[in-house]
Amino acid sequence: MTSLSWTEIFLGMIIQLGPVWISLVVLFVISMRYKRSLGLYGKLFDSVIGMIGFAIVMFWVFTGFFSGAMDLIITQDPLAQFSGMKNKVPGTALRGAEDDSYKHFLLGGDHLARDVFSRVIAGSTIVIVIAPLATLFAFMVGITLGIPAGYYAGRLDTSISFVANLILAFPVILLFYLLVTPEIRLTGLPQYMAIVLFVFPLIFYSVLIYSRYHTVPAKRNALLGVGLAILGLLYVSLINETGSKIEFFNAIDLFDVDAGLLTVFVSVVFVNSPTVFRIIRGLTMDIKTRDYVAAAQTRGEGAWYIMLWEILPNARGPLIVDFCLRIGYTTILLGTLGFFGLGLSPEDPNWGATINDGRKLLSIYPHAALVPSFALLSLVLGLNLLADGLREESLKD
């Protein structure tokens, strides 16, 4: 079996990524059709930069989804080693390939004879799951603490700001290194941190619903009961790990989270939360002086209602932009941790570990390091362009 030419390689990748192209076309057609009724998201399609960034981001989102949830796109097992495929160039034919398997390594093999194309595609699943979710949790922590600190000021603001500045004063990479080392993991510290950090979404949801529907007890109680039951079940499943320092309620444990993955997740939330806190605190201190806040106070609205239903919605523009940028920062941090072999298992097809594996022979076989590097670069670039587009459109409101 002959090797593929570069034209055949690109054509093969385009065909393998067929579900992604179809999904992008459908998404853009529907979004363009109804953009005038989709608020800020619809206005994004009036910005060329925003559309380009959104297309790049959604490309990797769909790629990660079809690769992870539906087991499509990838051509080989990303963890499998194939005889005779060590450091093979892109397009090399797979020796002894079965009839129902893919016959080539589209982007070549790495130093352990694993398919680079499949590892890069599978690595996108890790990024699109951890980066947005960790950033969302960090925002829950930052918002829950930042809004009351900015609104009430005084000793509350001083105390929380001191803790936030203390965390920010510590070098980020060193802090990550301390949190993800095996010795620290064995103490159970990441899980104890997860108990504290992961409870903030429950607090945020409870206060949000209670402040909005405190005058409608039936609806308030129903929303609180159903919402907290679901969130509580997810909370227990996240912090509970069989054979670890924290093990309880195994009967209602919906899923097991890898210890390394949980450590990375907690570390990202812990490092990003103080920055989000400072942003929302500053926005709150500015917005609380506006006339509509004074009008809500005159109507007799409660403090939490004003914070969450008057101040927070009017801070959504800067927060959405920062959310996109922070996902990019988190993606870089995940790549850095993977590159140094911290947190995630080195065998996992994460982009950082793949880059580190390929750099050892970069001058001879560049494909193994350049492909995941380009993937990381493109996703971060897309997030930055998306943030620029959102900022541009939000300023027009």
Token duo for residue 233: 């079940």
How confident is the model over 183-204, as a mean pLDDT?
85
Q: Count other C-beta atoms under 10 Å from residue 229's C-beta.
A: 10
Number of domains observed in the structure of the chain: 1
What is the per-residue pLDDT across 115-160, written as a single tens digit (0 to 9) for each? 899 999 998 988 898 899 999 999 999 999 999 999 998 899 999 9
Q: Is residue 324 part of a domain?
A: yes
State the pTM of this model: 0.87
For residue 85, being part of any structural domain is answered with no
Q: How confident is the model at residue 242 (pLDDT cuts 50, 70, 90)?
A: low
Give long-range contacts, CB 8 A cutoff, 24+ apart: 4-13: 4/90, 4/91, 4/93, 4/104, 4/106, 5/91, 6/90, 6/91, 8/91, 9/90, 9/91, 9/106, 9/107, 12/104, 12/106, 13/106, 13/107, 13/117
Q: Secondary structure of the chain: what % helix, strand, coil (to 5)?
A: 70, 0, 25
Span of 66-70, 250-254, 302-306 with lowest mean pLDDT: 250-254
What residues make up the domain containing 143?
126-328
Residue 105 domain-assigned (yes or no): no
Model pLDDT for residues 258-288, shown as the tens digit of each residue: 777 788 888 888 888 999 999 999 999 999 9
Q: Let me know if residue 16 belongs to a domain.
A: no
53 belongs to a structural domain = no
Average pLDDT over residues 51-63: 94
In a domain, 29, yes or no: no
Provide the b/e sequence for 10-34 (b: ≥16 CB within 10 Å): eebbeebbebbeebbeeeeeebeee
- Copy the structure tokens of residue 301: 């609205």
Length of the chain: 397
Q: Is residue 323 part of a domain?
A: yes
- Residue 131 belongs to some domain of the structure: yes
Tell me which H or E stretch contains 104: strand 104-105
